[in-house]
Amino acid sequence: MSATQSSGPAALSAETRQPGTVRANRILLAALGVLLLGVGVLALLAGFGAFGQRLRLQFVLAPSIEQFVAASPWYWSVVAVVAAVVALLCLWWLLIQTRSDRVSAIRVSEDRTAGSTFLDAGAFTSALEAEIGTYRGVSRVGAYLSGTPNRYRATVRVALDGRIDAGDIHDRIVGQALPMARNALSVTELPFRLEFELPKSTRNIR
């Protein structure tokens, strides 16, 4: 559930990883897909005899390949280097998956002579969590800012205890907490993503 204005909810795009990580994933997966597709097409063509009957009937590990490996003492060194490069690329790919687009500070004002003024994102989200945490029906709140110091959005995750209807809590957050957040940042618009965690059972709640 998301909200951008106090008048009610509005749809936001799904949360994703850092743009650089998404771009790297797309390039890597596209290149890997093209490579595997090319190998598969070549294998099918060879199997159907497009490159001649000799290649079609040849074993994958032909005696000539075994002889080449035996006569080339540098072969396994090259294989080891290639394997190490592939392992490093895999490690790099895994590491960039942990990148986050959360911001630690946001720019609240900028002056060419006096410089820029930044606000600690943690201080802002802590105040927002404290405000929403006082609402009846809320058991736990978590908030963070993501994007860039100039263009950011707030994500708030609220765990409910079931005493108050989720719609009522949503209306209070959108009508009270969100305007306070905009006023604190001196902005007229603040992309705001609101996620509710509903209780598993409310049978024992009065």
Residue 165 maps to which CATH number? 3.30.300.30
Backbone angles phi, psi at 201, to 5 degrees: -150, 140
Find which of 43-52, 65-74, 79-88, 109-118 is predicted with most confidence, using mean pLDDT.
Answer: 79-88
- Is the confidence at residue 33, as pLDDT, over 60? yes
Is the same domain home to 92 and 169?
Answer: no
As given in the structure block, the two tokens for residue 40 are 């598969």
Is the same domain home to 133 and 176?
Answer: yes
Is the same domain home to 107 and 187?
Answer: yes
**pLDDT class for 187, splitting at 50, 70, 90?**
confident
CA–CA distance, 1 with 102 (Å, rounded to integer): 20
Is the same domain home to 8 and 23?
Answer: no
Is the same domain home to 92 and 105?
Answer: no
Is the same domain home to 10 and 26?
Answer: no
**pLDDT class for 100, splitting at 50, 70, 90?**
confident
Q: Determine the angle formed by the axes of helices 75-96 and 19-47, rounding to 10 degrees.
A: 140
Is the same domain home to 59 and 86?
Answer: yes
Instruction: Please list the helix, strand and coil fractions of the chain in percent, rounded to the nearest 5, in that order.
Output: 50, 20, 30
Question: Are the C-beta atoms of residues 177 and 6 closer than 8 Å to each other?
Answer: no
**pLDDT class for 70, splitting at 50, 70, 90?**
confident
Cα 22 to the chain's mean position, in Å?
7
CA–CA distance, 176 with 96 (Å, rounded to integer): 38
Question: Are the C-beta atoms of residues 166 and 113 closer than 8 Å to each other?
Answer: no
Is the same domain home to 164 and 77?
Answer: no
pLDDT at 111: 67
96, 130, 154 — which closes off a domain? Answer: 96
Select the more confidently predicted residue: 141 or 20.
141
Domain span at residue 139? 2-15+101-197
Question: Are the C-beta atoms of residues 194 and 141 closer than 8 Å to each other?
Answer: no
Has residue 205 been placed in a domain? no
Percent of the chain with pLDDT over 90: 29
The SS3 assignment for 124 reads helix
Has residue 178 been placed in a domain? yes
Is the same domain home to 88 and 115?
Answer: no
**pLDDT class for 9, splitting at 50, 70, 90?**
very low
64, 96, 128 — which closes off a domain? Answer: 96
Is the same domain home to 129 and 178?
Answer: yes
Select the more confidently predicted residue: 6 or 67.
67
**pLDDT class for 4, splitting at 50, 70, 90?**
very low
Number of domains in the chain: 2
96, 117, 145 — which closes off a domain? Answer: 96
Q: Are strands 105-111 and 115-120 parallel, antiparallel or unpaired?
A: antiparallel
CA–CA distance, 59 with 17 (Å, rounded to integer): 45
